[in-house]
Structure 1
Amino acid sequence: MRSIDYFDRGHDLDPARTALIDVATGESHTFAEVKARTEQIAAALYKHGFGNQQPLAIFAPNSAVAMILLLACWRANAQWIPVNTRNAVDANAQYLAYVECEWMIYDSSLEKQVEEMRATCPKLTNLICIDELDSFIGDTTADDFTPPEVDAFGNLDELVGIIPTGGTTGPSKGAMVTNLGWGTMVETAAAEMDQRTDNPVSLVVAPITHAAGPVALATMSFGATQVILPGFDAAKVLSCIAEHRVSHMYLPPTALYSLLGSSGIEEHDTSSLRIFILVGSPVSPEKLRIAVETFGPCMCQCYGQVECPMVITWLSPEVVAEAASGYKPERLASCGKPTSSIQVALLDDDGNPVAEGEPGEICVRGPLVSKGYFKKLEATEEVRQHGWHHTGDVARADAEGFLYIVDRKKDMVVSGGFNVFTTEVEAAITQLPQVRECAVIGVPHPKWGEAVHAVVVGDGVDEAQIIAHAKDRLGSVKAPKTVEFVSEIPRTAAGKPDKKALRVVHWGKNARMVN
């Protein structure tokens, strides 16, 4: 099916149910109102010359309007171009030029950035400010909307969007995500999240332009109300959970850590939570155990990437709760088992399966996989070797099929000829209650080539304690040789620890950040 068909599925369950609540403005909209508004916007786009399957950028912070615009984009059968408000202007301009985007709807608070981007993107000629949306729509009504032609399969090969990859190692590539792949993701995610409450309410906190958008669509497909916050604030998140009886929530692990460190967290009623998904980067097993104690048996994880979105694996709340209680506690470090939507193999550099328990690259095959990178044939071919899509993530599998991500290939530290997976070191260090966050990188060393270096956010702990703790759990090779304390760890626009930025401090402008 097409992306918008999943919203319409939720609409058809109960058109009068509240679909969106904007916490910042207090406004709310029913499913029927949202559907009519998206039809009105789509009709106005076509009236002003927009074409079927053209790229359409949406540049706005989280709000009910931003969610409506995203749905209207899919209603018009546009190719969604997410523009992250956390990105540098140059990065956004470079991406818009790369995907040849001509149309953008933007928030007035970002007008200065839009003008700067327009100056370097000659094709970006159709700009619509949200403040002027009513004027753009004019007398167009929902009845004026004529849906683009749909075939009996739901236009499976057409694009939902050209979605930027993380860009932590260079300019973002555009993953061409089809209706087939997007629909597979939505249906797989919804199957795991649905049927857990009679009143599903989903809290949207992370950027809609990132994983929060697809999570929202998946929950809307079974009729969930979306409670939208403009950004992450631990106190407001906790208040919203209690006030709106939130049942479903997605956050990256770093935001979870902030919640767990909030003063007065025990004063908020979070008993309504049924699904609290962690996505985006590995989570500290110890922090996950504490999260189960704090929020109950709702914690879960999934693993994916833009090229194969969101649900390559799933670690259910039931498995997490059992592990937190002491039954196979090692599974707190797992990202779960492969879902029914994808075939997964752990392969060596020659494309051969690795032995059980040995690390290998996660390679996937199936309808979840994106069409490839926009106008980057060589880059697409590079990740599609041996008949698989190569994720670039390294994992091992246990006898029961649970996967344990040990690193990104490029994040692996090679010290004295030994491979050190940085996530393993980070997991050990964050067991210390005084450590709130940790990022491990390799730094140049004259004897070992690279040395393990830990960047830590924490209080009441010193370098010697951290090194001793890690050495006790991992041995001397994997333990950090140096520890750096910072007030915060830099992040990419997607909210992940920016290890590239951390490496530059030690490697300078070297073309290679390995020895």
Structure 2
Amino acid sequence: MHLIDMFNTAAQRWPDRIFLREGEKTRDYATVRSAAIAIAKGLRARGVGVDTRVGIMGPNTSDLIEGVFGIFIVHCIWVPVNVRSTASELVDYLTALDVDILLYTSSVTEVVRQAQARLPHLRLVAALDGPGRHEWLAGSDHVVLDDLPPRAHAVISLTSSGGTTGKPKGVALTELNWETAVATAASQFPGDHPVFLLAAPMSHAAGGLALMFLPRGPELIVLPSFEPEAVMAAIEKHHITHLFLPPTAIYMMLSHPKRHQYDFSSLKYFIYAGAPMSVDKLREALALFGPVMTQFYAQMECFGSITCLTPDHHAEALADPHKQHRLASAGQANIYARVEIMGENGDLLKAGERGEIVVRSNLVFSHYVGVPDDQKPKPDTWHHTSDVGYRDEDGFFYIVDRLRDMIITGGFNVYPSEVEQAVLAHPAVKDCAVIGVPDEKWGEAVVAFIEVKPSEAVTESDLIAFCRKTLSGVKTPKRVIVVDELPRSPVGKVLRRVVRDELWKNRPRNI
């Protein structure tokens, strides 16, 4: 089934229900569907054919979302572009993914203009808002749109991945990937008409999750970007039931001085993903937001969710001392994915043994775009996540770290996330990144870069002593460096690799 058909069905069932709410302005399902059809006709009138890659760039707005649906209606491939991209980054990305159609909103006009001058192959560059929208859509009402049968293996989106390890690449997702992701969301979040707060960028995980709710007639509350108090105010004002944010954004809310002034009782599912969450901060979140925290473990290459730690799992872990360790887990495999732990020799490991997390599922992506053939993953019957983890006897998965982020210090392997858990347990620490820094004695020395909460303070010696209570000497940070702000991705995930690359720059090796 086409993803757009799921929206069309919802629009037919609930044409007058509000679908998009942006500030004080609202658009119902019928209005959004009509606008998306107009965009689809505009694309077809300008010779944009089936399976054409169409880039779309801008902050979260109703106009941008209508553009996404227009791309789907005309059976083209949606290529979301990071709204924070510079002109050079935009040029590199569109070139690598062979995109020659670009839709954008007015807030990024200058970046698009600069990039367009260096992209002579672009066939169409068109605005999704303001007078420019009406200009390019004029005269296309007569266009007849294709009504294609379902194409399970047709690619309908190219999503960016790999931004922390080099130039981003396109992850090709098919109709079957999206259909399975929708089914996964339905199994984990039952019920019609969720009120979903879109605060993280539409171009990343939050946008994908919002689209997974389409068959249930959601109302999307659209914020242009994440700002802690704006999110808290929106939850109270619009009675938000579903919300996705990465852990670092949640940490900002937990440290906000006005966090206790807002009502969060409408929340049913506060979804977090993108990085492991500190157990101590997770306890704070459960105390503040209630028994609604829901963890996804997923990748762009394995769309939707590989595993899920449900609100009931969180509640059980809090209530039963014998289950408290589950708060550090990523939950159990979803019903549409087989998840295993694989050893270095390719054997599947038993409960308690550490290895790489591997997956078989219709959630697994089709292929990469914009990657040289010699850098593409070797064909395998399993999707290799590059995450190190283990499974316990009850089927809960625990992520230890990324294979490529492992620190080798004095001949011992240290996983940064384990050290970060210890650092984040300190009440003065807002967020952190732990990396291996070049060291003549140890090869790599464990170093913690931290952000401190407002009105708090902590010394290097105090934090190192604090970590020694729970970590062995080899894992305890040798240094602590306080920074004003850690580098983050567009969705707020701390970019550990960016910190590491700066320190390893001009070195003869990277390990």
After superposition, where does 1:377-392 map in structure 2 within 5 Å? 378=373, 381-382=376-377, 384-385=379-380, 387-392=381-386
Letter aligned with residue 273 of structure 2: V
Distance in 2, Cα, partners of 1:383 & 1:239: 47
- Tell me which residue corresponds to 2:161: 165
- Tell me which residue corresponds to 2:198: 204
Question: Is the 1:345–1:363 contact (alpha carbons within 8 Å) kept by the matching residues of 2?
Answer: yes
Distance in 2, Cα, partners of 1:60 & 1:301: 27
Distance in 2, Cα, partners of 1:107 & 1:481: 47
- Tell me which residue corresponds to 1:156: 152
DSSP 3-state at the match of 2:488: coil
Of residues 481, 487, 490 in structure 2, which corresponds to 1:490?
A: 487
Distance in 2, Cα, partners of 1:96 & 1:311: 28
Distance in 2, Cα, partners of 1:461 & 1:226: 41
Return the offset for 1:11.
2.4
User: Percent identity at matched positions?
Assistant: 36
DSSP 3-state at the match of 1:469: helix
Distance in 2, Cα, partners of 1:90 & 1:33: 36
Change (3 A) 1:173 1:375: closer
Return the offset for 1:498.
1.6
Return the offset for 1:312.
0.8
DSSP 3-state at the match of 2:275: coil
Distance in 2, Cα, partners of 1:38 & 1:511: 52
Distance in 1, Cα, partners of 2:184 & 2:205: 15
DSSP 3-state at the match of 1:110: helix
- Tell me which residue corresponds to 2:175: 179
Return the offset for 1:393.
1.1
Distance in 2, Cα, partners of 1:479 & 1:259: 28
Structure 1: give runs of 5+ residues left out of the alignment. none
Change (3 A) 1:380 1:362: farther
Return the offset for 1:511.
5.8
DSSP 3-state at the match of 1:460: coil
Stretch deviating more after TM superposition (490-499 or 465-474): 490-499
Stretch deviating more after TM superposition (125-134 or 226-235): 125-134
Return the offset for 1:448.
1.8
The alignment's TM-score, normalised by the length of structure 2, stands at: 0.95
Return the offset for 1:449.
1.2
DSSP 3-state at the match of 2:368: coil
Letter aligned with residue 2 of structure 2: R
**Cα offsets for 1:299-318 (capped at 9, x unmatched):** 11101111111311111111
Return the offset for 1:230.
0.6
- Tell me which residue corresponds to 2:262: 268
Return the offset for 1:249.
0.5
DSSP 3-state at the match of 2:179: helix
Stretch deviating more after TM superposition (370-379 or 289-298): 370-379
The alignment's TM-score, normalised by the length of structure 1, stands at: 0.94
DSSP 3-state at the match of 2:37: helix
Say whether residues 1:31 and 2:25 are aligned partners. no
Stretch deviating more after TM superposition (48-57 or 339-348): 339-348
**Cα offsets for 1:136-176 (capped at 9, x unmatched):** 111444x84423421xxx21111111211132111112111
Return the offset for 1:322.
2.3
DSSP 3-state at the match of 2:121: coil
Of residues 292, 301, 311 in structure 2, which corresponds to 1:298?
A: 292
- Tell me which residue corresponds to 1:191: 187
- Tell me which residue corresponds to 2:272: 278
Change (3 A) 1:512 1:194: farther
Stretch deviating more after TM superposition (155-164 or 463-472): 463-472
Question: Is the 1:383–1:391 contact (alpha carbons within 8 Å) kept by the matching residues of 2?
Answer: no
Distance in 2, Cα, partners of 1:254 & 1:325: 26
Say whether residues 1:348 and 2:343 are aligned partners. yes
**Cα offsets for 1:232-283 (capped at 9, x unmatched):** 1111111111111110101111111111111222221110000110021111
Stretch deviating more after TM superposition (271-280 or 255-264): 255-264
DSSP 3-state at the match of 2:284: helix
Aligned-pair Cα RMSD in Å: 1.7
Distance in 2, Cα, partners of 1:13 & 1:317: 30
**Cα offsets for 1:321-377 (capped at 9, x unmatched):** 222345411111111111111111211222122342222111111211111112546
Say whether residues 1:421 and 2:415 are aligned partners. yes
Distance in 1, Cα, partners of 2:211 & 2:96: 27
Letter aligned with residue 48 of structure 2: F
Distance in 2, Cα, partners of 1:81 & 1:148: 22
Say whether residues 1:331 and 2:326 are aligned partners. yes
Question: Is the 2:251–2:430 contact (alpha carbons within 8 Å) kept by the matching residues of 1?
Answer: yes
Of residues 60, 63, 68 in structure 2, which corresponds to 1:62?
A: 60
Return the offset for 1:494.
4.3
Return the offset for 1:491.
1.2
DSSP 3-state at the match of 2:390: strand
Of residues 232, 236, 249 in structure 2, which corresponds to 1:238?
A: 232
Letter aligned with residue 4 of structure 1: I
Distance in 2, Cα, partners of 1:423 & 1:42: 45
